[in-house]
Amino acid sequence: MSQSRKLYIKTYGCQMNVYDSERMAEALGGQGYTQTDTPDDADMIVLNTCHIREKAAEKVYSELGRFRQLKADKPDLKIGVAGCVAQAEGEEIMRRQPLVDLVVGPQSYHRLPALEARARAGEKALDTDFPEEAKFDDLPARPKATRGPTAFLTVQEGCDKFCAFCVVPYTRGAEVSRPAARVLDEARGLVERGVREITLLGQNVNAYHGHAGGLAGLVRDLAAIDGLERIRYTTSHPNDMDDALIAAHGEIGKLMPYLHLPVQAGSDRILKAMNRKHTAESYLRLIERIRAERPDILLSGDFIVGFPGETEEDFQATLDLVAEVEYGQCYSFKYSPRPGTPAAEKAHVDEATKDDRLQRLQALLKSQQHAVQDRMVGREVGVLFEKAGREPGQMVGKSEYLHSVFVDAPDARVGDLVPVTVTASAPNSLAGRLRSAA
């Protein structure tokens, strides 16, 4: 039996990185590692990084700098960098921060035990390949310990779209889908451990082709699993919303009425410059079709303001699209260049203009979110309790629309899925009472 050691993983970025961190911890479990919540008593620290946000690499180097004294006090401590910054920076990480012992890209973390063994032997270990073997095939079976009621499950990785602003095709590689049989096996194992809701993950998840019926076919098979009550998926590209998947939103009760469908901009000129390969009009007609299948669906999206070349007229087109769609939730950002992407070489919009446009867009999005939440008051929703609230007897969970709902439910337990009447709307959450409560 391997010596017992402690592992600290800090996760940056998207839900896929959360899933990846779980699998890395499981892979290192065979080396005798158990997780700890603090780096101070860790024998190994792994930063699982994301390259999407601005200055992502610099933030990682800053975090590594904080471990310098800890490494000096504990010479046997091993420090690793994983994820997309690791893929993009490679050997540069070790050059700039010699305290780093291993660097592993997001497609190679199934090799983490071997890399850890090399680092433990005093070598510097680096693996940022796109290996021929599928990493999911080589990962250990997931442990049987009970877990919370919700889980992420990666079904697809990589992207072939090459949007002009995005590093994902360079850090995650081409689109790859996991075979449906393996996804279903993992899902059944999660349900056996107490999971009631699964969110399917992919950089471009609706491009999933590991099932003959595509993502819709996979969702239908997942819906047949006893004990799995809810299914979600993220993140999608408008060009891959096929007829079967649109129909699934109206036909599969376990597929939740929430869809994150990024558009990025409302100007066709900017969409073309972004290499999005769809128009504002095609996106709006797609939304119409989805709402025809599931009228109560809550829509979420992503927007970039200040993309190179964006004029005030272009930005107004974005505001017009937002006004027509009415989003229940959205993420919006100022454009920031990613080295190596086509947009990084173009003339940039000045920061003051970007700041102004972002504030105007966010004000509109926030007003829409509040209006959608206000209309929920008086409605009944299903809430899957995930944790205890701040107040005695209070529970917190998610509705089918992904709203956080706070409920006085002293007899409830984590994992209960209960009908709740919404009684109030707060800026980023709802309050409710149990159906049986007076």
Binding site: residue ranges?
14, 50, 84, 159, 163, 166
Q: Give the residue ranges of the annotated binding site for [4Fe-4S] cluster.
A: 14, 50, 84, 159, 163, 166
Q: Which residues of 204-221 are buried (b: 16+ CB within 10 A; e: fewer)?
A: bbbbbbbbebbbbbbbbb
What length does the chain have? 438
Phi-psi sector, 162: left (phi>0), alpha (psi -120 to 50), beta:
left
C-beta pairs of 274-277 under 8 Å, 24+ apart in sequence:
274/163, 274/164, 274/165, 274/304, 274/307, 274/343, 275/161, 275/162, 275/163, 275/164, 275/342, 276/161, 276/163, 276/238, 277/161, 277/239
Check if the beta carbon of residue 255 is closer than 8 Å to that of residue 220: no
Structure tokens at 206: 């609706």
The residue assigned the tokens 């959360």 is 18
Phi-psi sector, 173: left (phi>0), alpha (psi -120 to 50), beta:
left
**CB atoms closer than 10 angstroms to residue 264:** 25
Check if the beta carbon of residue 258 is closer than 8 Å to that of residue 398: no
Structure tokens at 41: 């008593």
**CA 221/CA 287 separation, integer angstroms:** 25
